[in-house]
Amino acid sequence: MEESISIENLKQHIGNIHYDRNPYDHPVQLEQAGQYIKEEFLKTGMEVEEDGFEWKDGIYKNIVAKKRGTTSPETVLILGAHYDTARGSPGADDNASAIAVLLEVARSIQPLSLASTVKLIAFSLEEVDDGGSTHYAEKAKREGEKILGMISLETVGFTGPDQRYPSFFNPKYYPNVGDFIGVIGNEKSAVLLEEVKKFFKKYVPGLPAEFFIVPGNGEKTAEARLSDHTPFWDRGFPALLVTDTAFMRNPHYHRPSDTMETLNFDFMKKVATGIFFSIAEMAGWIQCEEEPAATPFFLNRGL
């Protein structure tokens, strides 16, 4: 399974949506990107649906693939990434890198038997006040969806020589080179973060990673709220942000120069591998047909 993530597939996915895709002046391209993601999800054989929502005068779509659990299908783990861009950018790191990882995890996880249900969601309009994820989180709260945890993938493909930090971090305690992946949770997500930390260390020990917990829902740490995990935090669901730290290291952020030539695909593959095993393990991976279904980790903890 360690070799299930393909760099060539990651490159292909990014190449296929490597263009400006925003609702303002490139709505057709945004729709095309969503359609590409839907077709790739369908290739896995999972259940796939379009989750539409209104914004201004248009209808926009989250694309949802569902891998149904075998013994606890009512409990759900969510892996998400947004597919829209900031205006004027082809969005290779932000956020085609995350969509590529999402699609590779979907392909790799489909053959497994899992106790809990896993949803892989491509959100639209993250760049517009988290439009798609807010719509989904509100609906999940209203309908009582049993979300064990949500992981938001946000800019996961860039490494560089410089690393900056928000004002609430003391940089002397953290690396000054941008070669690590960051995983950020709020207080309610501490258990989820510890589980992901454990599996990253187990399955991708060669990947530098930093793990952070912010107070409350990050109200005083604005940079920690800049992605699709935030609507889940605000509605009481455990959620994590997985990121290369975006503009804290990437000089191409939200610019025309955010192209796939700037990305580190070896780094991206390691991130994808860590995410794949984290999702599989937490959802109760059944490693062979003779084994009974594993109990998802939150149920083991009585949560």
Whether 225 shows a pLDDT value over 50: the answer reads: yes
**Range(s) of the domain holding residue 242:** 7-300
Which of the four pLDDT bands, split at 50, 70 and 90, describes residue 3? low
Q: Is residue 137 part of a domain?
A: yes
Nearest to 61 by CA among 99, 33, 88: 33
CATH for 80:
3.40.630.10
Residue 1 in any domain: the answer is no
12 in any annotated domain: yes
Total of domains in the chain: 1
Distance between CA atoms of residues 123 and 226, nearest Å: 14
Q: What is the pLDDT of residues 5-37, one digit of tens each?
A: 999 999 999 999 999 999 999 999 999 999 999
CB 260 within 8 A of CB 18: yes
Those residues whose C-beta lies under 8 Å from the C-beta of residue 98, and which sit 6 or more positions away, are 81, 82, 153, 154, 155, 156, 157
Exposure of 259 in the CB half-sphere (CA atoms within 13 A): 3
- Residue 19's identity, in one-letter code, is Y
Task: Specify if 183 maps to a domain.
Answer: yes
Q: Strand pairing of 58-67 and 116-123? A: antiparallel
* Residue 68 placed within a domain: yes
Q: Is residue 2 part of a domain?
A: no
**235 inside domain:** yes
272-301, pLDDT tens digit by residue? Answer: 999 999 999 999 975 544 444 455 555 554
The pLDDT tens digits for 158-170 are 999 999 998 888 8
User: What is the pLDDT, as a whole number, of residue 217?
Assistant: 95
pLDDT of residue 290: 44
Q: Evaluate whether 156 touches 97 at the Cβ level (below 8 Å).
A: yes
Q: What is the mean pLDDT of the chain?
A: 93
